[in-house]
Amino acid sequence: MLLALVLAWFCCCTGIARAGYAAIVVDGTSGKVLDEVHADEHNHPASLTKMMTLYLTFQRLHSGQLRLDQQLPVSAWAASKAPTKLGLVPGRTISVRDCILGMVTKSANDAATVVAEAIGGSEQHFVEMMNAQALMLGMTDTHFDNASGLPGPSDASTARDLVKLARALYRDFPQDAAYFATREFTFQGKLVVGHNHLLDRYPGMDGLKTGFTDAAGFNLASTAVRDGHRLFAVVMGGRTAQARDDLMARLLDDGFDGRQTPDSLVAQAGMVSRISRTRRALAALSPIKSAEADTVPASLRTTHRRRHVVVARAACTPRKGTSCTRHGKRAAHRAKGGSATLAARAANRKAAATERPADSH
- Specify whether the CB–CB gap between 69 and 174 falls below 8 A: no
Pick the closest to residue 162 from 245, 213, 221, 214 (CA basis). 221
106 as an active site residue: the answer is: no
Q: Which of 50, 106, 209, 289 is catalytic?
A: 50
**Could you give the CA distance from residue 148 to residue 113 in angstroms, rounded to a whole number?**
7
Pick the closest to residue 203 from 37, 318, 314, 119 (CA basis). 318
Q: Secondary structure of 92-119 in the HEC alphabet?
A: CEEEHHHHHHHHHHCCCHHHHHHHHHHH
**Could you give the CA distance from residue 18 to residue 220 in angstroms, rounded to a whole number?**
16
Q: Which of 75, 107, 276, 286 is catalytic?
A: 107
Sign for the pseudo-dihedral over CA of 267, 270, 273, 274: negative
47 as an active site residue: the answer is: yes
Q: Which of 47, 75, 157, 286 is catalytic?
A: 47
**Could you give the CA distance from residue 11 to residue 329 in angstroms, rounded to a whole number?**
46
107 as an active site residue: the answer is: yes
**In one letter, which amino acid is 257?**
D
**Could you give the CA distance from residue 10 to residue 149 in angstroms, rounded to a whole number?**
22
**Could you give the CA distance from residue 157 to residue 42 in angstroms, rounded to a whole number?**
5
Pick the closest to residue 197 from 294, 111, 132, 322 (CA basis). 294
Give me the active site residues, please.
47, 50, 107
